[in-house]
Amino acid sequence: MNRRTFLGAPAAVSFLAAHAGAAAATVETQVIRLKLRHTWTTVMSSSDYRDNLYLQFRAGGVTGRGEGAPIVRYHEDAVSARRTVESVHSLLTSADPWQFSKIMAELFRKIEGQYAAKAAIDIALMDWVGQKLGIPLYRHFGLDPKDAPVTTFSIGIDTPEITRQKTREAAAYPVLKIKVGLATDEPTIEAVRSVTNKPLRVDANEGWKDKEEAVRKINWLEKQGVEFVEQPMPAHMIEETRWVRSRVHLPLIADEACRHAADIPKLAGAFDGINVKLDKAGGLLEAWRMIQIAKSLGMRTMLGCMISSSVSVTAAAHLSPLVDYADLDGNLLIANDPYRGVQVQNGKLILPDRPGLGLLPAG
């Protein structure tokens, strides 16, 4: 068959078209407004909704889904996250998705900041890979879903009356995470304790600026049945936190002070552990690396999340058998989750055993 007859044969044309179609990946982005069940207040802000970036990566008949929750503290929003994905569109549609580590390394070199956008891309690629291999993501990471920890359920800062109501609504969760860091810390904890005696974890979100105040509050919290305190002082006050740690018994966990892998070594000794979030790290691959680095330094590890739907929370849950603590409740705090993925039974994270993230449409 010469070239002309080859190109002219209908069967050959359809073969070429089919393979051209299979090779061409597509990337679509969408911003979805997630509505919070309760106004969400921390030391940093108060809001009724969050705009998150969603990404669909399609190739070879499989769609991988990703999500990124832009973090205002790091100058990210849904517009900048979406623009970031668009800026690497041709790289994503022309690269071989099986080379996901190479793709993400290149994106980390090319893009400054914008970790929520990086997380959305990483999660979509890993969902695609898991579906193509026909295995759930936890299996890809070599983990046992039975090791997934209990997740805390978070209670944002509010009046004592609403705090009591939220605590009652959280009856299904065996461990609560209470946001503090304002002048109302004692009344907040007392409101929770008037309703329940279950274990509490406390997140001050950098709220205590004075090291002696931090020591006083942490020692008071120890008497209230608190298991650990997250980010008591501002992120840059590592030496002050080291001073505090030598005067308290409760473990201290770094969140805002621990954004990236390179932050971890200098936190050892000031903090007992780190809170890893996909949106801070830039996805599952980087989160996995951070968890391993922290473990190598003898630190405890925790997986947290932003206000996110089941895409991002399920992705983090697939890594959760690796960590000591989970605070993966972002999807439980919203009223319009577009997907279903990880479930919670008596507080324990139940990972989907479907391929990839294992997402289903909501409803």
Our CB check for Mg ion shows the closer of 230 and 240 to be: 230
| Residue 127 in contact with Mg ion, rule: CB under 5 A | no
Q: How far is the CB of 66 from Mg ion (least distance, A)?
A: 22
Let me know the angle formed at the C-alpha of 98 by 96 and 99, rounded to the nearest 5 degrees.
Answer: 70
Q: How far is the CB of 205 from Mg ion (least distance, A)?
A: 6
Q: How far is the CB of 203 from Mg ion (least distance, A)?
A: 4
Binding to Mg ion (CB under 5 A) within 178-207 occurs at: 203
- Kindly indicate which of the ranges 97-105, 185-193, 225-233, 308-316 contains the residues binding Mg ion, using the contact rule CB under 5 A: 225-233
Residue of minimal CB distance from Mg ion?
255
| Residue 255 in contact with Mg ion, rule: CB under 5 A | yes
Residue 132, phi then psi, degrees to nearest 5 = -65, -40
Percent helix, strand and coil across the chain, each to the nearest 5: 45, 25, 35
| Distant-in-sequence, close-in-space partners of 132: CB < 8 Å, separation ≥ 6 | 60, 62
Our CB check for Mg ion shows the closer of 150 and 302 to be: 302
Q: How far is the CB of 177 from Mg ion (least distance, A)?
A: 8
Q: How far is the CB of 173 from Mg ion (least distance, A)?
A: 17
Binding mask of the shown chain, residues 62 to 101, with x at each position contacting Mg ion by CB under 5 A? ----------------------------------------
- Kindly indicate which of the ranges 32-40, 58-66, 179-187, 223-231 contains the residues binding Mg ion, using the contact rule CB under 5 A: 223-231
Q: Which of 66, 153, 81 lies closest to 338, judged by CA?
A: 66
Our CB check for Mg ion shows the closer of 29 and 205 to be: 205
Q: How far is the CB of 202 from Mg ion (least distance, A)?
A: 10
Rg over alpha carbons for the chain, rounded to the nearest Å, is: 22
Our CB check for Mg ion shows the closer of 62 and 235 to be: 235
103 touches 129 (CB < 8 A): no
Contact residues for Mg ion, defined by CB under 5 A: 203, 230, 255
